[in-house]
Structure 1
Amino acid sequence: MEQLDAAELTAVLENFVRMFIRLPAVDRLSFTTLSVLHTLARIGPMRLTDLTASEQVTQSAVTQIVAKLERDGLVGRRPDPTDGRAVLVHITEAGAAIVNGRRDNRVGHLAGLVDRLGDDERAAIARALPALTRITELHEQRR
């Protein structure tokens, strides 16, 4: 059985993620702004404090990003049903359309690259997907 080197995995994933997040996209928004939209699309409505923790930026930065996204119609705010004093930020249809459009764009670009791989390389990546998903799940459980 082949051993997995965590340092090599880290280096490969860093290079892949760097390439992946820079794939051409129609909408040119900042990385943090896009991250907020993707987080809201994936997790659902969140309080600003939770969004701040998730995005690992300051409360002030998240507040400014959310205010701009709200002005642009990409997110909205509504009262938290569990605490009337709190507000939940949620993605709008327009915001979700940006997230979905970016995903479609990435799928297209990545499909072109994957098509250039050999059968064994594609099969190796397919076999790795469940393990990569599990790593993500383990990380989420630690939070």
Structure 2
Amino acid sequence: MTPTVEKIARTDAGLASVLRVSVARLGRRLRTEQDPAVDLSVAAFSVLGALAREGELTVGQLATHERVQPPSMTRTVNCLVEDGFVVRRPHETDGRQVLVALSGAGRDAIARERRRRDAWLVHRLRELTPEEREVLRTAAPLLERLSSA
């Protein structure tokens, strides 16, 4: 007989294990809600999301934000430029730098994806009791804090 999640999560190590698996599964499940008409990788959507949250960034800043090497980010940005989701422009004060920003198509794509994934999650949240949803309201800021470290 396998131990229940509640039993496993009684220790910090058990809680870490349960959270790791659950958050990873939820993330994978949310990614499957991608609009089939928009053929972008997880990495590309992550870049669009970073630009939506942070505003225009250099390729180096994007690479740091996404924890990848600059050449990898350059390839991702090149693809996003080719597909019309982002635009590049020269930096105002540093001629060696290029700024990357969302295009109108990029803003539309990220908004559609967020609406689609949020709708799926709202549907699933409605399957929970009001008390369970309240627990998640309390946990959400803590999960955000853990994810931003």
- TM-score between both structures, scaled by the size of structure 2: 0.79
Q: Residues 82 and 6 of structure 1: is their aligned pair in 2 closer, same or farther, counting only changes over 3 Å?
A: farther
Larger Cα Rg: Structure 1 or Structure 2?
Answer: 2
The aligned residue for residue 21 of structure 1 is 31
SS in 2 for 1:83: coil
Unaligned runs of 5+ in 1: none
SS in 2 for 1:89: strand
The aligned residue for residue 84 of structure 1 is 95
**CA–CA distance in 2 between the matches of 1:55 and 1:122?**
30
The aligned residue for residue 48 of structure 2 is 37
Matched ranges for 1:1-143 at <5 A: 5-26=15-36, 27-137=38-148, 139=149
**CA–CA distance in 2 between the matches of 1:29 and 1:111?**
24
Deviation at 1:135, TM superposition (A): 2.7
**CA–CA distance in 2 between the matches of 1:24 and 1:80?**
33
Deviation at 1:3, TM superposition (A): 6.5
Letter in 2 for 1:12: S
Higher mean C-alpha displacement, 70-79 vs 19-28: 19-28
- What is the RMSD computed on CA atoms of the aligned residues? 2.0
Deviation at 1:23, TM superposition (A): 2.1
- TM-score between both structures, scaled by the size of structure 1: 0.82
SS in 1 for 2:35: coil
Deviation at 1:55, TM superposition (A): 2.5
**1:7-31 Cα distance to aligned partner (Å, 9 max, x none):** 3222221222121222242423111
